[in-house]
Amino acid sequence: MKTKKRNAAKKIKSTAKSKQAQVRSKAIAEGTRLFALAGRPTKAQFVKVYGAKGPTMTWAERAKAGVDAKHFQSALADKTKA
């Protein structure tokens, strides 16, 4: 009887871990997609567009700052001209 309870507890625990891993991998995939959409910028380019905190910001934070991934290259060109 105790063995069945232990096995059930292990199943629940492993299911929770696998769901967390799925959520994590989806977030990483979305970040990678946005990075590619932005033209695979370097850290120096992030600093030029967003400031010193640019490389450590998430894409959501960068969008709140005014430049999303889709418009990164145009913002970079504007900053480079100035």
> Which pTM does this prediction carry?
0.75
pLDDT value at residue 55: 96
Mean of the pLDDT values across residues 34-46? 97
Residue 5: count of CB within 10 angstroms of its CB: 9
pLDDT value at residue 9: 64
pLDDT at 27 exceeding the cut of 90: yes
**pLDDT tens-digit readout, 45-78:** 999 999 999 999 999 999 999 999 999 999 999 9
Q: How far from the centroid of its chain's Cα atoms is residue 58's Cα?
A: 6
- The CA distances from residue 82 to 38, 42, 47, 61, 77, in Å, are 20, 19, 15, 24, 9
